[in-house]
Amino acid sequence: MYAYDEIDRTLVNERVSEFRDQVKRRLSGELTEDEFKILRLQNGVYLQLHAYMFRVAIPYGTLATNQLRALAHVARKYDRGYGHFTTRQNIQFNWIKLAELPDALEDLAKVGIHAMQTSGNNMRNVTSDQWAGVAPGEIEDPRIWSELIRQHTTLHPEFSFLPRKFKIAITASDHDRAAIKIHDIGLKLIKDEKGETGFEVLVGGGLGRTPFIGKTIKHFVHGRDILSYIEAILRVYNQYGRRDNIYKARIKILVHELGIEKFSREVEEEWQQIRNSSLQIDDEVIEDIRSRFTYPAYEKLPHMPDELRQAAADADFEAWRKNSVAPHKVQGYSIVTISLKPIGKPPGDATAEQMDALADLADKYSFGEIRVGHEQNLALPHVAKRDLPALWKALDKLGLATPNVNLITDIIACPGLDYCSLANARSIPIAQELTRRFANHELANLIGRLHINISGCINACGHHHVGHIGILGVEKNGEEVYQITIGGRADEGAALGNLIGPGVKFDEVADVIEDVVEAYLALRERPEELFIDTVKRLGVEPFKERVYATR
């Protein structure tokens, strides 16, 4: 867990009273919507189809149980009893009244939660691996560095009025769970040959209208230089970035237009001027942040406790364990992923009751800590293996033990036309129908790892470009039409998917996806060959032929 210092607490409280005053002036007519819009966006408040939407940050995906209970409280008191976890370690509430928002913000501020930097053209919530600090083989806890960057960029003038929003993600493992290649800046913690900690730095990733996979701009930047290096990137961006055209304003466009060589030369020049400035990080600063992250007092536990041995006879438990439980860096412990993708329900939603109950379970079994990942699932990061059977029973009662993590029903979907004012088509009902089609666990297991991502418009909030199967909703003559891509991926091997054929209508999407999956099962060389690898080996054509032959 991370303990905020006094400065942060004061800042958060000041923002609440400032916003309370702004809302008051808005409701009295003293502020027009034009004047107020930028202020509400700075506090995470959007307007959707049916109501205001309130986006709250969960910095690097770490939540304490009192924080999760506060989110449950907001869902219950100010919203309709649920919240929606997003792909950027945020939670959104869909039905908040503007007049009550200051109260909701105040209730959250009491537990150190805020909505700063969740919208607007600034440095957004720095995201990280949801397994940070517990994943075996990780270089070191990436949240230490996320926090360093957060402190440096929060409300920093250079980062508050960027040409466009700006997103950073950090990972410290070889397997990238933070999707760093689709962020404006992606950082991978590594050690150089001398054992010094630093970063491989990637820039220019992003999805939306013009998707790009981030490129490596420098293979090693020493940890102490990372702020000056990021600042150098932002200075080049601020200098050249296009403010005239919203569609061209992201750094990915600049990197593409200048070319990665020229862009890195510019950054290097800028960096040489500032790297030995006050931006150089003292070891004490890092140590101070490091000391604020506390880790549980783990017990010395056996690798294979009796409880686990006994529970292995229960096929349902085993199905869940194999699917949702991952190794921990400390012997005798595991990381448990909690699927927020029950069959037939909107992906990423959790009710207030579920959040409260989960907070209780985290207190009992996970040292009071919960994590939020970009796949719209949650995790309990420190579960003793002997507690797994009891935890499973409790999760199952809450509807939170669907054993489908990383399977075809673990779908990432944006809110789409059911909520979003920018949408062209619905996303959630497509996801719901697909989970029903593939509800059978044996079938889903037989298919194996397969990520479906759905967006309701080209803004790509559902990351459809990097779904193994990507579904993009568009509008054609007043009708919802869906374009389907295959072969995308969001991890260390990030790639953009390719279209498999003409768009299909709402009612046909699930049929087409079934055909794609059938084609895969027929085409794969052996059961271990993942969907994504079959597509890589064969390309789009054989899929296209099979899927569209009869259409």
Return the residue of 187, 213, 457, 490 that touches ligand SF4, per CB under 6 A.
457
Contact assessment for residue 57 and residue 147, using Cβ atoms and an 8 Å cutoff: no
Per CB under 6 A, 411 contacts ligand HEM: no
Between CA 326 and CA 116 the distance in angstroms is 32
Strand partners, 218: 201
CB of 540 to ligand HEM, least distance (A): 23
Return the residue of 1, 11, 98, 326 that touches another protein, per CB under 8 A.
98
Per CB under 6 A, 111 contacts ligand SF4: no
3-class state of residue 199 by DSSP: strand
Return the residue of 48, 66, 351, 483 that touches ligand HEM, per CB under 6 A.
48
Neighbour count for residue 274 (Cβ, 10 Å): 17
Between CA 142 and CA 443 the distance in angstroms is 36
Return the residue of 97, 322, 397, 505 that touches another protein, per CB under 8 A.
97
Where is 524: in which H helix or E strand? none
Per CB under 8 A, 480 contacts another protein: yes
Structure tokens at 12: 């958060």
DSSP state letter for 490: -
Neighbour count for residue 225 (Cβ, 10 Å): 21
What does 455 bind: another protein, ligand HEM, ligand SF4, none (CB cut-off 5 to 8 Å by kind)?
ligand SF4
Per CB under 6 A, 168 contacts ligand SF4: no
Looking at beta carbons only, is 324 or 455 nearer to ligand SF4? 455
Per CB under 6 A, 419 contacts ligand HEM: yes
Per CB under 6 A, 367 contacts ligand HEM: no
Q: CA Rg, the chain, in Å?
A: 23
Closest CA to 16 of 118, 104, 97, 105: 105
Per CB under 6 A, 49 contacts ligand SF4: no
What does 456 bind: another protein, ligand HEM, ligand SF4, none (CB cut-off 5 to 8 Å by kind)?
ligand SF4
Per CB under 6 A, 510 contacts ligand SF4: no
CB of 422 to ligand SF4, least distance (A): 4
Per CB under 6 A, 461 contacts ligand HEM: yes
Return the residue of 142, 198, 456, 497 that touches ligand SF4, per CB under 6 A.
456
What does 88 bind: another protein, ligand HEM, ligand SF4, none (CB cut-off 5 to 8 Å by kind)?
ligand HEM
Contact assessment for residue 469 and residue 438, using Cβ atoms and an 8 Å cutoff: no
* Amino acid present at 314: D
Per CB under 8 A, 73 contacts another protein: no
What does 428 bind: ligand SF4, another protein, ligand HEM, none (CB cut-off 5 to 8 Å by kind)?
another protein
Per CB under 6 A, 474 contacts ligand SF4: no
Between CA 411 and CA 497 the distance in angstroms is 16
How many alpha carbons lie under 13 Å from residue 186 in its C-beta half-sphere? 30
CA angle 279, 280, 281 (to 5 degrees): 105
Please report, as residue ranges, which positions from 134 to 173 form the binding site for ligand HEM (by CB under 6 A): 164-165
CB of 249 to ligand HEM, least distance (A): 7
List of residues 6+ apart from 248 with CB closer than 8 A: 242
Structure tokens at 422: 């920018």
Return the residue of 58, 428, 466, 486 that touches another protein, per CB under 8 A.
428
What does 86 bind: ligand SF4, another protein, ligand HEM, none (CB cut-off 5 to 8 Å by kind)?
ligand HEM
Neighbour count for residue 111 (Cβ, 10 Å): 16
Structure tokens at 255: 């990197």
Between CA 108 and CA 118 the distance in angstroms is 15
List of residues 6+ apart from 261 with CB closer than 8 A: none
3-class state of residue 211 by DSSP: coil
Per CB under 6 A, 390 contacts ligand HEM: no
Looking at beta carbons only, is 142 or 416 nearer to ligand SF4? 416
Please report, as residue ranges, which positions from 419 to 438 form the binding site for ligand SF4 (by CB under 6 A): 420, 422-423
CB of 308 to ligand SF4, least distance (A): 41
CB of 117 to ligand HEM, least distance (A): 14
Structure tokens at 493: 């091997």
Per CB under 6 A, 237 contacts ligand HEM: no
Per CB under 6 A, 509 contacts ligand SF4: no
Closest CA to 428 of 406, 412, 444: 412
What does 457 bind: ligand SF4, ligand HEM, another protein, none (CB cut-off 5 to 8 Å by kind)?
ligand SF4
Per CB under 8 A, 482 contacts another protein: no
Give the number of residues in contact with another protein, rule: CB under 8 A. 38
List of residues 6+ apart from 515 with CB closer than 8 A: 546, 547
Per CB under 8 A, 435 contacts another protein: no
Is 295 exposed, middle or buried, given 0-12, 13-18 or 19+ CB atoms closer than 10 A? middle
Phi then psi for residue 241, to 5 deg, are -55, 145
Per CB under 6 A, 414 contacts ligand SF4: yes
Pairing of strands 127-128, 452-455: unpaired
* Amino acid present at 484: I
CB of 480 to another protein, least distance (A): 7
By the criterion CB under 6 A, which residues form the site for ligand SF4?
A: 414-416, 420, 422-423, 455-457, 459-462
By the criterion CB under 6 A, which residues form the site for ligand HEM?
A: 46, 48, 53, 86-88, 92, 164-165, 182, 206-208, 250, 414-415, 419-420, 422, 459-461
By the criterion CB under 8 A, which residues form the site for another protein?
A: 26-29, 32-34, 37, 47-52, 80-82, 95-99, 345-346, 349-351, 399, 417-419, 423, 426, 428-429, 432, 478, 480
